[in-house]
Structure 1
Amino acid sequence: MSAVRSLALATAGGLVARAALRVLRAVPGVDALDRTNFRGNTVTLAAGPALAIGAATSAAAGAGSVPAAGAALVAGLGSGAVGFYDDVVGGRPEHKAKGFRGHLGALREGRVTSGFVKIAGVGAAALGASALLAADRPARGRLGTVVDVALGAGVIAGTANLFNLLDLRPGRAIKAGALVAAPLAGGPAGGLVAGPMGAAAGILPDDLDERAMLGDAGANAFGALLGVALAARTGPAGRAALLAGLAGLTAASEKVSFTQVIQRTPVLREVDALGRRP
């Protein structure tokens, strides 16, 4: 993909995300989206849906085919919508649960938490997006297609979840996204990442300055869209390797704090703090 087209998509993504954020901030009652961040500052969750809208629409515009455009919209908007639902109601006592096991435990007790709705919704969006991507791939037979779609769905859902786990400090998820997007930018999946990175760049100043945060809506959508690009770029073996890595990181997050690991690693600590308030 040409540099000019990449720049155009990134610009469009950033403009749409900024416009969506301005509109959302002007909606009556938007203060219901205010939350307290790790430092005790008040931030708005409006950046999450703004990022989801800007990233998904610009990714669709940059997709190389109609099925890939559909996959971007399904993954980005679907994951963003269920993430936003969790952002809005997840703090209520009846929805409280920690981690995947906690949400499953609540379900066994007869409680459907917003977190479980998010997990199921992201999974469904990932499956739909992966099925759409299959239309652009060579025929592999029924079993081969089922396996390919399942692996793609795992990559998309796993990436969405990973970026949600990373969104614990200002700018962290967006910086991680840049690392994932960089090797994809010049290849066949470049059109799927240029717009989302532009949208993320449009939100980044508010994120770093602690005026807004991505929340589940933004982090899930951003991660899911990068997952679509990864799934579109890789074959079954690559998808399986990515899924194994994502599963390992997700399992590790149940036992280890990513924030503590970053703080103990000098290079990661410096990159993580770049541009953030002292």
Structure 2
Amino acid sequence: MSARALPAATAAATAGLAWAGARRLAARPAGERWARTNHRGRPLTLLEGPALAVGALAAVAVAPLPARARAGAALATAVAGALGAVDDLAGSADARGLRGHLGALARGRLTTGGLKVVGIGLGGLVGAAVLDGRGPDHDAPSALDRLVAGAVVAGSANLVNLLDLRPGRALKAVLLLGHLVGGAGVPGSRPGAPLASAGAGAAAALLLPDLRERGMLGDCGANAAGALLGCAVLTRTRSRAARAAVLTALLALTGASERVSFTRVIESTPGLRQLDRLGRAAPPAGRPTAPHAGSPTAAPTAPPTARAAPATTPGP
């Protein structure tokens, strides 16, 4: 079985089974904490996120990569997913976006979003260091190399989270970016296919229920998928210039999200608009979009872009 096929098949099968279990749990009292109402007022569950994380981690475990690469990717993905779940369940709307959470930290108040920013950053840093190990010349990468690699993982986790505002959008991004990252290697590069395929397999298994608005990734699933995609970038290339370019793009998109609604940009761009709407149910004629009341870290600051609102007031 190819380097792509085994992780993809494992991720798809595991995520599919986990989603089947999640749907049963969602119908029970224990699943009520994960219940949300999306931007169209339709009830759904955030348990899709844990299902994706479980599928991705299962695929990482069987990926044809060195043990340290699997361990680093699993660590970064698990930390991102776990802290995302904390924010899903206990997050508040007091602070929004990266600027809001960092501002709260500067004032001495740690929000669940702030915990996620710090924790995913540290998880990405450690996970990337384990994944990279020592260079081909047996010299350890510099502190700057370590910092850039960790930031690529954390930035990727945040980017996918920023896209989880409409049904299918984040999962389509994982599939498309995973295809690009997992493509054939170039001179001086290592293949990114196993980890990229792990995320893509889980995304493919959950795309249909996401498009049908039965579930959404939430911070747990989006952060886990993004962190794994960042790890795939690191397995694809050790080039300082390439990694720095990826990080620059991630920082630019994160900064733009604080000022510009991604949804408005996508809706106003031909091609992107059609791709974004592909497979999604058409909104009822004349029905207004629900007001923003979503996860404090799952959406940019612009109110009309929220995808999910808590069914009940989140805990502290």
User: TM-score range, shorter-chain basis?
Assistant: over 0.9
- When residues 264 and 90 of structure 1 are mapped into structure 2, their CA distance, relative to the original with a 3 A threshold, is same
**Which has the larger share of helix?**
1
Are the counterparts in 1 of residues 16 and 205 from structure 2 also a CA contact under 8 Å? Answer: yes
Does residue 228 in structure 1 map to residue 234 in structure 2?
no
Quick one: which amino acid aligns to residue 274 of structure 1? L
Q: Tell me, what secondary structure is at the counterpart of 2:142?
A: helix
Q: Secondary structure at the match of 2:4?
A: helix
* Counterparts of residues 7-46 of structure 1 (less than 5 Å): 7-27=5-25, 28=28, 29-46=30-47
Q: What's the C-alpha RMSD, in Å, of the aligned pairs?
A: 1.7
Match of 1:156 in 2: 153
SS in 2 for 1:252: helix
Offset from partner CA, 1:192-251 (integer Å, 9 cap, x none): 111221111111111000000000000000011010011221211111111111111111
Counterpart Cα distance in 1 of 2:156 and 2:233: 9
Check conservation: 2:73, 2:128, Cα contact below 8 A: no
Q: In the alignment, which of 252, 259, 263 is matched to residue 259 of structure 1?
A: 263
Aligned length: 272
In 2, Cα distance between the equivalents of 1:145 and 1:82?
A: 28
The 5 Å alignment of 1:1-278 reads 4-27=2-25, 28=28, 29-91=30-92, 96-135=94-133, 137-139=135-137, 141=139, 144-187=141-184, 188-234=191-237, 235-278=239-282
More displaced stretch, 9-18 vs 258-267: 9-18
3-state SS, counterpart of residue 36 of structure 1: strand
Structure 2: 5+ residue stretches without partners: 185-190, 283-316
Contact 2:192 2:234 in 1 (8 A): no
Cα offset, 1:139, TM superposition: 4.2
Summarize deviations over 1:118-149 as a string: whole Å, max 9, x none. Answer: 1111111101111012215324745x432221
The residue type equivalent to 1:173 in the other structure is A
1:63, 1:103 → 2: CA distance? 38
Shift of 1:46: 0.2
TM-score by length of 1: 0.92
Q: Is the 8 A contact 2:182 2:232 kept in 1?
A: no
Asked if the contact 1:56–1:77 (Cα under 8 Å) also holds between the matched residues in 2, the reply is yes
Q: One-letter code of the match for 2:14?
A: V
Tell me the CA shift for residue 85 of structure 1.
0.4
* Contact 1:163 1:223 (8 Å CA) reproduced: yes
Q: Percent identity of the aligned residues?
A: 44
Deviates more, 1:268-277 or 1:20-29: 20-29
